[in-house]
């Protein structure tokens, strides 16, 4: 009888696993190096793997195992998933399933897009990844649909419209499964849209709730908008994936810029909930707490950057915290349960929009320049603002190694000339209220740094300068390595203790993807997508990118085995 019960239990477990990840698989992702079931390699978004077969001593023996063409020239900013022996990768115009050991494509499902949708993708036509749950693979589309595909066949199971791309909306971020709910964000903050987060039934596609991220009159925070209708086009996009604490049952999701950038008109006020971290209940979308990084933001500093969950010792006591390297140039540490500000320090060298962050109020301390910008609807001449609209760090996710206590991030080192102007909202046209004319480059020529950052001080233990800024995600490992990609196409590994470059490989196109590592049959692999594009390519005018060809592909590496 006991034997029969055990067999039934095993069969039930195997059937559930064969059907794709369930709650337990998602919760345990960070501790199961043989698969990658979540965006971020775990609900905490730490992007740190304990795998250590590839380490400082042998990484120089890393060689490509296979390369798969993704058959498009769009930027590749995605992160693959690896589930039940199958790897899944999304692009702007397709979803691909492949054998992770050989790179052989198993199925490819095209995503048909209207041609005019690319006109409202402010910063490149890309897709950053998928979510998986109970046999279904979920992704967003550039024209703001959410679709579910059968993981075995790639066949579309359901499709739901989140918003109308003709109103300026798009969808580029990976979805999140939390407490059995499929959660998605939205892009479009530059087009006079109203941001939101949606909760969906993953089995049917039925919408369960919508949480708008600009507060309406009569709602909490509704009085933080001066104009009666300003919240309707006030921005607050939600285009990067949140993190999730199953024990607290809280999802943490970042919101973006206010619209238009120029805050001197109807957007006067604090403007909740733009540029904020929101703690929400996944079943209802209820906001439990919020913290606003940049109230009344005029500079496009956002708050969407990844909200990494960690445990730090503060005043001699362990605290469950959230870490964010914000685009405004400050590294924030928040209490995970309450949103209390615990630390906020510069992690880039040149910040001139604020003198610092007041720890008591949580508010930035404006410089005279920013006070002037907030109160001048039409500026006669531009002012030089650091960091630029692309921030001290842009969307590319950092990693956090709980063993070293350091965050590893690709940071940016340039400013931009800012001049407020009067502007009228037009369909499919950016609605900024400022004259965007490019960037101010640093005198030393180093436009970016890969940094190892102390979260509590913002100071770098080491930094690696680069003339071309890196726009790839970062992965740290138990082997003492930090992996990231470069815009010139090199995929590289660095010593996590010193920053010394230990290995590099030219992939053939610029890298803006997110590296992952995994293990199969006792062998460790590292995978990265290559394919140039994105916001820096579009707006920098950097002539050094002209000879870097487009073309999306997926690469996987392992240690050279000279015994075969």
- pLDDT per residue as tens digits for the range 337-378: 999 999 999 999 999 999 999 999 999 999 999 999 999 999
In a domain, 9, yes or no: no
User: How confident is the model at residue 233, as a pLDDT?
Assistant: 93
* Mean pLDDT on 315-322: 96
Sheet with 448-453, edge to edge strand ranges: 399-401, 406-412, 448-453, 460-466
- Predicted model pTM: 0.95
> How do residues 212-250 score in pLDDT, each as one tens digit?
999 999 999 999 998 778 999 999 999 999 999 999 999
Structural domain including 526 reads 44-559
Is residue 204 within 8 A of residue 158, CB to CB? The reply is yes
**pLDDT at position 101:** 98
The span from the CA of 418 to the CA of 167, in Å, is 26
Question: How many domains is the chain built from?
Answer: 1
Model confidence band, residue 49 (pLDDT cutoffs 50, 70, 90): very high
| pLDDT exceeds 70 at position 121 | yes
Establish whether 29 is a catalytic residue: no
Tokens 């969950």, located at residue: 309
pLDDT at 562: 58
Among 55, 300, 302, 401, the one annotated catalytic: 300
Residue 11 lies in a domain: no
Q: Residue 20 — very low, low, confident or very high, per pLDDT cuts 50/70/90?
A: confident
Q: What is the pLDDT of residues 61-113, one digit of tens each?
A: 999 999 999 999 999 999 999 999 999 999 999 999 999 999 999 999 999 99
Q: What's the pLDDT at 265?
A: 80
Q: Does residue 26 belong to any structural domain of this protein?
A: no
pLDDT band at 563 (very low <50, low <70, confident <90, very high): low
**Residues 438 and 416 sit within 8 Å (Cβ to Cβ):** yes
Question: Six-digit token pair at 120?
Answer: 């409202």
pLDDT of residue 392: 98
Task: Report yes or no on 485 lying in a domain.
Answer: yes
Residue 516 belongs to a domain: yes
**For residues 296 and 14, what is the distance between their CA atoms, to the nearest angstrom?**
52
> Could you tell me if residue 7 is inside a domain?
no
Residue 9 predicted with pLDDT over 60: no
CA distance 370 to 454: 28
12 has pLDDT over 70 = no
Residue 318 lies in a domain: yes
Let me know if residue 14 belongs to a domain.
no
The length of the chain in residues reads 564
CATH of the domain at 244: 2.140.10.10
**Mean pLDDT across the stretch 187-209?**
97
Least confident of 56-65, 130-139, 427-436: 427-436
pLDDT of residue 4: 43
Question: In angstroms, what CA-CA distances link 453 with 2, 277, 340, 407, 476?
Answer: 53, 21, 21, 5, 13
- Mean pLDDT for 249-267 is 94
What percent of the chain has a predicted confidence (pLDDT) above 90?
91
């Amino acid at each position: 009888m006991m034997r029969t019960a055990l067999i039934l239990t095993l069969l039930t477990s195997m059937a559930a696993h064969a059907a794709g990840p369930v709650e337990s698989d998602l919760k345990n992702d960070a501790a199961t190096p043989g698969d990658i079931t979540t965006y971020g390699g775990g609900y905490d978004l730490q992007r740190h793997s304990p795998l250590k077969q590839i380490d400082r001593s042998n990484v120089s023996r890393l060689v490509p195992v296979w390369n798969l063409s993704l058959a498009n020239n769009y930027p590749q900013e995605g992160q693959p998933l690896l589930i039940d022996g199958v790897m899944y990768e999304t692009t702007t115009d397709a979803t691909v399933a492949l054998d992770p050991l050989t790179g052989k494509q198993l199925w490819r499902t095209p995503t048909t897009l209207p041609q005019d949708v690319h006109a409202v993708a402010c910063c490149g036509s890309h897709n950053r990844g998928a979510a998986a749950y109970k046999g279904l693979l979920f992704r967003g589309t550039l024209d703001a649909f959410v679709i579910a595909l059968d993981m075995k066949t790639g066949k579309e199971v359901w499709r739901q419209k989140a918003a109308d791309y003709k109103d300026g909306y798009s969808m580029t971020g990976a979805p999140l499964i939390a407490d059995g709910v499929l959660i998605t964000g939205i892009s479009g903050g530059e087009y006079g849209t109203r941001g939101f987060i949606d909760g969906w039934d993953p089995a049917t596609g039925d919408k369960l709730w919508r949480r708008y991220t600009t507060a309406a009159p009569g709602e909490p925070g509704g009085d933080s908008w001066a104009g009666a209708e300003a919240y309707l086009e006030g921005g607050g996009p939600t285009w990067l994936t949140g993190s999730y604490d199953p024990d607290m049952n809280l999802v943490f999701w970042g919101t973006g810029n206010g619209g238009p950038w120029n805050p001197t008109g109807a957007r006067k006020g604090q403007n909740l909930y733009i540029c904020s971290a929101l703690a929400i209940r996944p079943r209802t979308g209820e906001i439990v707490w919020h913290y606003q990084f940049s109230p009344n933001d005029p500079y496009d500093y956002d708050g969407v950057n990844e909200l990494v969950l960690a445990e730090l010792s503060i005043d001699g006591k362990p605290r469950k915290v959230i870490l964010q390297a914000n685009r405004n140039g400050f590294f924030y540490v928040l209490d995970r349960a309450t949103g209390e500000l615990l630390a906020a320090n510069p992690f880039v060298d040149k910040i001139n929009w604020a003198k610092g962050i007041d720890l008591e109020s949580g508010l930035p301390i404006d410089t005279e320049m920013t006070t002037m910008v907030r109160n001048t609807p039409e500026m006669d001449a531009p002012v030089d603002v650091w960091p630029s609209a692309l921030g001290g760090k842009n969307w590319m996710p950092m990693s956090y190694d709980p063993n070293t206590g350091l965050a590893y991030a690709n940071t940016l080192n340039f400013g931009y000339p800012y001049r407020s102007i009067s502007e009228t909202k037009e369909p499919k046209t950016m609605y900024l209220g400022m004259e965007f004319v490019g960037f101010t480059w640093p005198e030393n020529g180093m436009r970016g740094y890969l940094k190892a950052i102390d979260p509590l001080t913002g100071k770098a233990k080491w930094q690696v300068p680069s003339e071309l800024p890196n726009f790839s995600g970062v992965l740290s490992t138990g082997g003492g390595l930090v992996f990231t990609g470069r815009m010139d196409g090199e995929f590289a590994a660095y010593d996590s203790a010193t920053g010394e470059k230990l290995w590099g490989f030219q992939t053939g196109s610029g890298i803006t993807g997110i590296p992952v590592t995994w293990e199969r049959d006792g062998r460790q692999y590292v995978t990265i997508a290559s394919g140039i594009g994105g916001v820096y390519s579009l707006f920098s005018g950097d002539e050094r990118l002209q000879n870097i060809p487009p073309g999306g592909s997926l690469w996987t590496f392992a240690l050279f085995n000279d015994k075969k």
